[in-house]
Amino acid sequence: MTELVTRNYWWPVVTKDIGKYVNGCNLCQRMKNRIEAPAGKLKLSKILKKLWTHLIMDFITKLPLVTEKNAILVVYDRLSKIIYFVATIKEIMVENLVQLFRDNI
Residues 3 and 36 in one domain: yes
Q: What is the mean pLDDT of each run of 10 residues along the chain (105 residues)?
A: 80 86 74 74 85 89 88 91 91 89 87
Q: How far apart are CA 92 and CA 31, in angstroms?
A: 54
Considering the domain boundaries, does residue 48 fall inside one?
no
* Domains held by the chain: number: 2
Considering the domain boundaries, does residue 98 fall inside one?
yes
End-to-end CA distance of the chain: 59
Residues 36 and 61 in one domain: no
Considering the domain boundaries, does residue 50 fall inside one?
no
| Predicted model pTM | 0.55
Residues 99 and 60 in one domain: yes
